[in-house]
Structure 1
Amino acid sequence: MTLAVLRALHAIIGDALEDIDAVYSTAASSRSSSCTLPKEPEADVLPPSPASSTQPKSSARRAGTPPLLSNHSPTPATTLSVSAPSKRIIDFPSLDDPVDPADDADAEAERLRSNPAVANAVSRIVAACGQLSITVRSPFLVLCDAGMGYHLPSALRFLEAAHIPELLRPAGPEGLHVSAISAALGVDAEVEGRIAHILRLLATHHLLIEREPNVFALNRISAMLDTGKTYADVARAPEKKYESTNGVAAFFALNTDELFKASAYLTESILPHTAPPEELTVPSTNPSPAPPLSPRTGSHFWAWLEAPGNEARLARFGSAMGGSRGWEEDGIEAFPFASLPDGALVVDVGGGIGSTSMLLAERFKGLRFVIQDREAVCKLGRDAWRARCPELLEEGRAVFQVHDFFTPQPARHTPVGAFILRVILHDWPDAFARRILVQLRRAAAPDTFLVIGDHVLPYACAIEGAEALRTLRGAKWPLLANLGQASANAYWMDLTMQVTFNGLERTLPELVALTASAGWRIVRVARTEGSLF
């Protein structure tokens, strides 16, 4: 039976590769013949409806209002043309080579990666490969990887915090010897050897390339951590490293720093008796590179983040929220905003520095935006908008507003077209999340949209009934119903919310119950193909 499972997993991988090849072959042929390549229709996770889409958002209305409708038009076909008709010039992006946005073939290859057929095939490959490798490997070695995997985010944090991506970029594909890296960092010969071992762990997990012994180069993965600034600039002013960037480096710096440290206390948060006495000390004669540091703060995360001394972390958090857009990629069309009239007001509740609103303001020129958050965050947001799109502030199309979302909405006397709650509810347990939703319901008009942006977690098992509709497309036997490792990002984030905020990512039944308790009714659930967001 096990061999039959392995063969089935192998077949899933082969079929998925054929699907990817078909899309890229068609695109290559289209570039050669100047024909039109239509974008494959995106599949929703619920039965077809007039508002089906793949944007990772839950749309809700006040109870008793009609279902959400959308006047979105189909994505227009894209016409591509190039000479050399006999040569295939579009291939799936290479792991070894950072993406060159100035290269047309590179840009097209990356665009095709978000094609729904490709994204779904990629999910099947990741799910099947993960399940296949776990099945054939020694259980002890599987547990070794699971039990010692904490070193990977530690190494990733070192890579980012030492600004090594910015250091390696000028070296190009040839890479840089660890001695040169160490010299730039100003460390001695003993530490140089340790750095080589850290980078080798990352290369072993395909996050870097070791070109020859102790010579390392960026690849497509680690290049994402490159801010595009010079090493000299970020080393001289690390607190400004993430300003005017896409936020990806900030997002992973956040994840591998305080969020990673909080995870170490998951068990203690549920089983307090497992924590050692605070006064317990164990004398040791072993040398230690640094004294142990406890991440316990004695305050809520937000208060700690705004405390004196954490200014750089606060700024990083704001940038990181923009960097998390990789979950959604090209799913903007699933937002309901195209159906709103010109001049309609969109309130981005807990909107941080306004990364989501900025994206929407560029797409929907007739809408007005209010971004609400804490005072310190609003200040960072205004600075970010003045640097990137000052005209939106000057024209009054976007306004930052200091607001506590547990209190009545300042906009309650103004008709609101839509509220946005992007990565907000997952920060809070149900009792607090309900308080947020109740305040929005009281401020909502009968036709007000509520767009919730969170991961929606499927069960890992097959079930019957309405929830079975949440089974992911392509999750056929012997794959898990949630596509296993292909969906792991969402479950990582679920535990991150638990250990950092006492929050959680929710299943669909949990979201339905939560919104209903505050007077809202979910009318549509959509996600980006290849993501649970």
Structure 2
Amino acid sequence: MAATPAHPASDNAPHVPATPLHDLMYGHIYASALRAVVLHGIADHLADGPLSAGELAARSGTQAGPLHRVLRLLAMRGLFRTDPDGAFGLTEGSEALRTGVPGSRRDAVLLFTDAMYGRSAAGLEDTLRTGEPGFEAAYGTPFFEHLAGTPDAGRLFDTAMSSLTGGVNEQIAGSYVFPDGGTVVDVAGGRGGLLRAVLSRSPGLTGVLFDRPGTVTDHLLDTAELAGRWRTEGGDLFTAVPEGGDLYLLKNILHDWPDEDCLRILATVRRAMTPGTRLLVIDAVLPADGSPHPAVPLDIVMLMVLRGRERTAAEFEELLTRSGFMVRRVLPTPSLTSVVEAEAV
């Protein structure tokens, strides 16, 4: 009879690490697991310290076994940590999944793991053949028209964009020397996060937040510090934008659109400006040599959902030159984006 081993069998031998192909193959599984824990508020339940899967399950209305397995998967990517006693705790990454904390990415996770993006991604096979966005094939309408006609989707998009750009707005505002006086017009500026950061840094400036009427209604500018220094205006950036500004901003707008629509937007902005007025195009600027850049995945989102693209500095310069602008310089920021400074000629 074989001797009984002194200790239970275990498999602690090193294994072949997952390859990039393996990680890509399972990408949708990680995204689905991430969405599930956000929807069940797992990070919020861990705010006061680590909990076992059983304790988490009781608090979140989930099943301990499946929850343990999902958290174990996400812990492999550093999104949660596992204590020696088996309890799960927060890491820097999962802190950003909490509701209402500075730098929260909860709404952004819910947006980019939403069925809108999943169905669009599933259409990439056809997009490669037709060049048409998977979103339009799935929903039968352009993305922004869908948002305008679907209030819940529109609100999710707006809150996700605000969550993604909170700290980024401060980085952008600190990377460019804004004038001490005058009026800055934030064109399609969403809820006004960038404009708020700019006005906070430059007390002599006043500002105009321009976007869809439903978006500017939910603005972020009503603070004591900025009292009397801003106004909002609703409208269509393809038709007209507020005139008389001393500086115009277009942040993360041109990458949403193909070249012909970018030219229409820039022509509208140029009509509102006098010669010598500055325009800041704030977008990712891809390297001309094709080297890696963190905005390359975002370029595929544009391909799936919209008809836009991320561009190189030369591509931005061509659009701006054709629209009556002269590019003065391109300034990097600590964020994903750069500042392309142009002047109306």
| TM bucket, shorter chain | 0.7 to 0.9
Q: Cα deviations across residues 461-497 of structure 1 (Å, max 9, x unaligned)?
A: 5xxxxxxxxxxxxxxxxxxxx3x4xx3x311111112
Bigger RCO (CA 8 Å, 6+ sep): 1
Name the structure 2 match of 1:179.
54
Structure 2 distance, partners of 1:450, 1:194, is 52
Aligned-partner residue type, residue 385 of structure 1: L
3-state DSSP class of the match of 2:328? Answer: strand
Name the structure 1 match of 2:140.
298
- Shift of residue 376 of structure 1? 1.1
State yes or no: 1:156 paired with 2:34. yes
Is the 8 Å Cα contact of residues 348 and 357 (structure 1) preserved in structure 2?
A: yes
Cα pair distance change 1:193/1:295, threshold 3 Å: farther
Gaps of 5+ in 2: 1-15, 339-345
Structure 2 distance, partners of 1:141, 1:185, is 34
- Shift of residue 530 of structure 1? 7.0
Q: Cα deviations across residues 243-294 of structure 1 (Å, max 9, x unaligned)?
A: xx65532223222223354223222223259xxxxxxxxxxxxxxxxxxxx9
Q: Cα deviations across residues 404-445 of structure 1 (Å, max 9, x unaligned)?
A: 000133x33x2x211100010011111101100011112211
- Shift of residue 206 of structure 1? 0.7
State yes or no: 1:506 paired with 2:338. no
Going by fraction, where is helix more abundant, 1 or 2? 1
- Shift of residue 152 of structure 1? 1.9
Cα pair distance change 1:321/1:247, threshold 3 Å: farther
Counterpart selection for 2:21 from 119, 138, 143: 143
Structure 1 distance, partners of 2:163, 2:26, is 27
Counterpart selection for 2:198 from 336, 350, 360: 360
Name the structure 2 match of 1:319.
159
Name the structure 2 match of 1:199.
71
Cα pair distance change 1:523/1:227, threshold 3 Å: same
TM-score (norm 2): 0.83
TM-score (norm 1): 0.55
Aligned-partner residue type, residue 239 of structure 2: T
- Shift of residue 142 of structure 1? 2.8
Structure 1 distance, partners of 2:84, 2:154, is 39
Name the structure 1 match of 2:342.
none
Structure 2 distance, partners of 1:455, 1:423, is 8
Name the structure 1 match of 2:13.
none
Matches within 5 A, 1:131-530: 141-170=19-48, 172=49, 175-187=50-62, 189=63, 192-212=64-84, 215-228=87-100, 246=103, 248-257=105-114, 258-272=116-130, 296-308=138-150, 310-311=151-152, 313-325=153-165, 326-327=167-168, 330-337=171-178, 340-342=179-181, 344-381=182-219, 384-386=220-222, 389=223, 392=226, 394-395=227-228, 397-409=229-241, 411-412=242-243, 414=244, 416-459=245-288, 461=290, 482=291, 484=292, 487=293, 489-529=294-334
Is the 8 Å Cα contact of residues 160 and 249 (structure 1) preserved in structure 2?
A: yes
Same amino acid, percent of matched pairs: 29
Structure 2 distance, partners of 1:213, 1:457, is 46
3-state DSSP class of the match of 2:158? Answer: helix
Cα pair distance change 1:352/1:328, threshold 3 Å: closer
CA RMSD of aligned residues (A): 2.6
Is the 8 Å Cα contact of residues 457 and 532 (structure 1) preserved in structure 2?
A: no
3-state DSSP class of the match of 1:371? Answer: strand
Cα pair distance change 1:390/1:298, threshold 3 Å: farther
Gaps of 5+ in 1: 1-136, 230-244, 274-293, 462-481
Is the 8 Å Cα contact of residues 251 and 324 (structure 1) preserved in structure 2?
A: yes
The answer to which of 362-371 and 324-333 deviates more is 324-333
3-state DSSP class of the match of 2:139? Answer: coil
Alignment coverage as a number of residue pairs: 317
Structure 1 distance, partners of 2:283, 2:173, is 14
Cα pair distance change 1:442/1:507, threshold 3 Å: same
Structure 2 distance, partners of 1:296, 1:423, is 24
- Shift of residue 303 of structure 1? 2.3
Aligned-partner residue type, residue 321 of structure 1: M
Structure 2 distance, partners of 1:518, 1:228, is 41
Cα pair distance change 1:331/1:405, threshold 3 Å: closer
Cα pair distance change 1:362/1:494, threshold 3 Å: same
- Shift of residue 201 of structure 1? 1.4
Is the 8 Å Cα contact of residues 153 and 260 (structure 1) preserved in structure 2?
A: no
Structure 2 distance, partners of 1:442, 1:448, is 11
Structure 2 distance, partners of 1:255, 1:295, is 18
Is the 8 Å Cα contact of residues 285 and 313 (structure 2) preserved in structure 1?
A: yes
Is the 8 Å Cα contact of residues 375 and 402 (structure 1) preserved in structure 2?
A: yes
Cα pair distance change 1:247/1:349, threshold 3 Å: farther
Is the 8 Å Cα contact of residues 422 and 452 (structure 1) preserved in structure 2?
A: yes
- Shift of residue 212 of structure 1? 4.2
3-state DSSP class of the match of 1:335? Answer: coil
Structure 2 distance, partners of 1:295, 1:249, is 28
